[in-house]
Amino acid sequence: MKEETAQTVRLSARGLTGGTFEAVLEAKVARQTARYAWVSGTEGIEAGRRDANTIAVTNVGGSALYTDVKIGTPGKAFFVDVDTGSSVLWVPSVACVAAGACPAASDTYSITASSTGVVANNSVVFEEDYGTGAVRGYLVRDTVVWGPLTAQQQLVMLVTQMDTTMFDQMSSIGGDGILGLAYDRGQGATVGFQDGDSASLTANLLASNALPNSYFALWFNQSAVFSTANPNDPNGGAVSFGSTDQSLYTGQFTFVPIVPTPILLANGSTDNLSYYWTVPISSSTVATSNGASFSIPTDTQIIVDSGTTLIAVDDTTLSAMIQIIGSVTQLVLQSSLYYFDCNTVQKLPTFNFYLGSGSGTLFPITYNSYVISDGVNCALGLMGLPQGQPSNLWIFGDTFLYQYYTVFDFGNKQVGFALATDGAGSGVPSGTSSSATAGGNGLGTGTATVTVTTTKSSAVHFTVSLALFLILILGN
């Protein structure tokens, strides 16, 4: 997720910082990737098998999804983080690397090397702040190609400086930049680049009718494979444009309308704009599978963010969840991360959240959604919110998204969830028993309920080598 300098409320600390694994994850409660497939605004989901409109994305150590985009003429490839929590595409400039302000291994963009590149917005310098990690630069326009899609005169932020956090993150992962897929500056917003055209790639593609439909969807491969020698899985996720891939989900979709998020404007006033993919929690009480319950802040909202790795909630809610989990397994706190015996993972409770308006729809948060493991070590993928963030504005990141094939629907302003296949043909996350209701909010028809139960022995699909994770983050 991103913070617009003096324009947007700070939502999360995204950067990768040096330090212990625990400190890294706390910082990462903010930054990393995603997974897609495109869906229709008013015509319903177009189900289909994987075709030319579906592309694979790279899963980096289980912590982020990256994809290649080509910028300029001739096109030059950049390895960028797929992020549903921001809307800007940025890559490093030649000058940034030459000055040592960007990693030396980064691919760089030079406007003089592209026959279609032009400077935009009078070279005014902007800053993109991701909470922990920021970049500065100016805008150019050029042709951008992503998979089968081409955007003409796309605004691209050409970075001239990274702060230390962003520098270290891109160095560790080997990434070049970030591809933001949130709404473009909020709908009707007067903030942002004010260049006359959309900043986000998705907004440009929609405006030019380059997309066959007004949605995309996201899928993380639960069976992605990593090793110290090869930390990237090139088939770790996928994006489909204009149709959904039936091999990537099972059952029906549940669609939840997005709600506006308070945005702090440059003049100091606040407006409610649909910038983030934010959905409401309908109940102020959360019940668990072991009979416990606790209250959460009134009017709590969840930002569905592929650019965040873990689940981030307010401190009071986090304490309640830790206490309930600690009643069935011993938790050992190391810095800010809770470790436990992997043999007890199936004893962990399910937290029942209801998303949407009214009574909402049940979304059980099983251990698959809040545990990270490499098969030897297990830890909770739960973190507190960054300092200063409203207690009722939570972030559900990759550990949650691994469990669902997620549709981001611009046309109907909603997010759709269906149980994700695990990448190995088994159909659903192992150890999961859940129900979901699909309502006809413009995508899909009628109402259907699907209940799925599996008894596979493997405990957690969000499998990350903790040692590898340290290597990726710390770069050593």
Residue range 48-93, pLDDT digits in tens: 444 457 788 998 877 788 999 999 999 999 999 999 988 889 999 9
- 213 phi/psi in degrees, rounded to 5: -145, 165
∠ at Cα 273 (45, 266), nearest 5°? 145
Look at residues 250, 263, 242, 200 and name the one whose alpha carbon lies nearest to residue 4.
263
Cα of 37 vs its chain's centroid, Å: 14
Phi, psi of 400 (to 5 degrees): -75, -45
> Letter for the amino acid at 261?
T
341 pLDDT tier (thresholds 50, 70, 90): very high
B/e letters for 45-71, b = 16+ CB within 10 Å, e = fewer, are: bbebebeebbbbbbbbbbbbbbbbbbb
Confidence of residue 218 (pLDDT cuts 50, 70, 90): confident
Q: What pLDDT band is residue 400 in, cutting at 50, 70 and 90?
A: very high
pLDDT at position 322? 97
Average pLDDT of every residue of the chain: 75
CB 420 within 8 A of CB 251: no
Q: According to the model, what pLDDT value does residue 417 have?
A: 95
Tell me: the pLDDT tens digits for 240-269?
Answer: 777 788 889 999 999 999 998 766 555 666
Average pLDDT value for residue range 98-124: 93
**More confident site: 26 or 280:** 280
Helix pair 21-28, 466-474: axis angle to 10 deg: 70
According to the model, what pLDDT value does residue 186 have? 41
The pLDDT tens digits for 348-357 are 999 999 999 8
State the pLDDT confidence band at 105, using cuts at 50, 70 and 90: very high
Three-state SS across the chain?
A: CCEECCCCCCCCCCCCCCCCHHHHHHHHCCCCCCCECCCCCCCCCCEECCCCCEEEEEEECCCEEEEEEEECCCCEEEEEEEECCCCCEEEEEHHHHHCCCCCCCCCCECHHHCCCCEECHHHCCEEEECCCCEEEEEEEEEEEEECCEEEEEEEEEEEEEECHHHHHHHHHHCCCEEEECCCCCCCCCCCCCCCCCCCCHHHHHHHCCCCCCCEEEEEECCCCCCCCCCCEEEEEEEEEECCEEHHHEEEEEEEEECCCEEEECCCCCEEEECCCCEEEECCCEEEECCCCEEECCCCCEEEECCCCCCEEECHHHHHHHHHHHHCCCCCEEECCEEEECHHHHHHCCCEEEEECCCCCEEEEECHHHHEEECCCCEEECEEECCCCCCCCEEEECHHHHCCEEEEEECCCCEEEEEEECCCCCCCCCCCCEEEEEECCCCCCCCCEEEEEECCCCCCCCCECCHHHHHHHHHCC
> What are the Cα distances from residue 3, in Å, to 14, 131, 266?
10, 7, 12
Q: Can you give the pTM of this predicted structure?
A: 0.79
Asked if residues 377 and 22 have their Cβ atoms less than 8 Å apart, the reply is no
Q: Quick check: is 374 catalytic? A: no
Mean pLDDT for 135-146 is 94
| From 81, 83, 184, 233, the catalytic residue | 83
Q: What is the mean pLDDT of residues 327-345?
A: 91
Distance between CA 402 and CA 237 in Å, rounded? Answer: 10
Does position 204 have pLDDT exceeding 90, yes or no?
no
Q: Which two tokens stand for residue 216?
A: 């995309």
> Beta partners for 155?
141
| Per-residue pLDDT at 337 exceeds 50 | yes
Structural domains in the chain plus CATH codes = 3-220 (2.40.70.10), 248-474 (2.40.70.10)
Instruction: Tell me the pLDDT tens digit for each residue of 416-471.
Output: 999 998 876 433 333 332 333 222 222 332 222 222 222 222 224 333 344 333 33
Q: Which two tokens stand for residue 318?
A: 């986090």
pLDDT band, very low/low/confident/very high, at 323 (cuts 50, 70, 90): very high
Whole-number percent of the chain with pLDDT over 90: 44
The mean per-residue pLDDT over the stretch 99-115 comes to 96
305 assigned to active site: yes
Mean pLDDT of 291-308: 93
The catalytic position among 129, 184, 245, 305 is 305
**Region 358-386 average pLDDT:** 88
The CA-atom distances, in angstroms, between 424 and each of 64, 341, 414, 429 are 20, 26, 29, 10
